Amino acid sequence: MALEDAAKQVDQAFTREDLRGLTFENTFGGATSFLRRRYTKDLAGAEIAITGVPFDQAVTNRTGTRLGPRAIREASALQTPDPPYGWGFDVLSERAIIDYGDVAFDYGHVAKFPQTLNEHIRTILSADVATVTLGGDHFITLPILKAYAEKYGPISLLQFDAHSDSWIDDDMDRIDHGTFVYKAIKQGIIDPATSVQVGIRTTNPDTMGVATIDAREVHERGPQAAAMRIKEVLGDNPCYLTFDIDALDPAYAPGTGTPVWGGLTSAQAAIMLRELAGINIMGGDVVEVSPPFDTTGATAIAGAHVAVEILCLLGYRMRRK
């Protein structure tokens, strides 16, 4: 059946009628929406919306993550014919998932960008549709978190990252990808007591009350133990998952702006994400994929896999309703 469908399916991003189901379109052809989901601004009937944020004007080192959403979408075509591995259910067939496209913004008015993105996410959430966002640099998580906090109250943050992104910055109008956690805590957007950072391997002495599982602890104790600890910290609180691709070691994800050695392996990340099934996740993002430095495409592939795992975590939570 799959081979027959492959001979007939093309441009499923525009031609598919059902929001559910696998896609057998040739991986090397056609329009590349995320996982060949339908491109649409119509939220009716949708449960999860993929959206892109091609913004990288907040970086401290290498630019290029504005091209991340496009690269992640293209890489995701490799995963469309089969149910995600290791979950025991097919989120692509069970849940109504759309590709909502990218946020529209004027790159010449950077100061207006945070509110534009906040309103973009708020529009989706107001329809009771969860978001999985493709970045973009890590600043984008702050306006997204604001929209989630407006809906759910102060939210727990699960952050996979090489950096804490909580360096002191009391100028709330500054746009910087290294301070979004500091600002989110100061503004009461996230609850630090039920938040956790995983994969950290850069120095920032003040954790601001956020639990830390650094990369060395994951290497020494293993990803299963790390996942258990994450669940203990999060409890059943509504949480948001942000995955900076530099949480992975540069050997697995070289295409990023601020790579740091000694990071997580892709296998460790996959195990942890799957062991987190059951957390009360409301939404998530994958950020800092920078195609200009991703000569083999491995980083975009990793980003696409992370986004699929976030979809699965959302789908698992929705099964408990």
CATH code of the domain covering residue 180: 3.40.800.10
Angle at 35 between CA 308 and CA 309, to 5 degrees: 5
Write out the chain's pLDDT in tens, 321 residues: 566 677 889 999 999 999 999 999 999 999 999 999 999 999 999 999 999 999 999 999 999 999 999 999 999 999 999 999 999 999 999 999 999 999 999 999 999 999 999 999 999 999 999 999 999 999 999 999 999 999 999 999 999 999 999 998 988 899 999 999 999 999 999 999 999 999 999 999 899 999 999 999 999 999 999 999 999 999 999 999 999 999 999 999 999 999 999 999 999 999 999 999 999 999 999 999 999 999 999 999 999 999 999 999 999 999 987
d(CA 39, CA 140): 22
Backbone φ/ψ region at 237: left (φ over 0), alpha (ψ -120 to 50), beta: beta
Taking the CA atoms of 29, 313, 101 and 138 in sequence, report the sign of the dihedral they define. negative
d(CA 34, CA 62): 25
d(CA 304, CA 302): 5
Nearest to 160 by CA among 222, 107, 91, 213: 213
Name 221's Cβ contacts closer than 8 Å, sequence gap at least 6: none
What is the residue whose two structure tokens read 């969860």? Answer: 130
pTM of the model: 0.97
Residue 37, phi then psi, degrees to nearest 5: -70, 160
Domain count across the chain: 1
Residue 26, phi then psi, degrees to nearest 5: -55, 130
Question: Which residues form the domain of 220?
Answer: 2-319
Distances (CA, A) of 37 to 69, 135, 201, 241: 14, 18, 36, 22
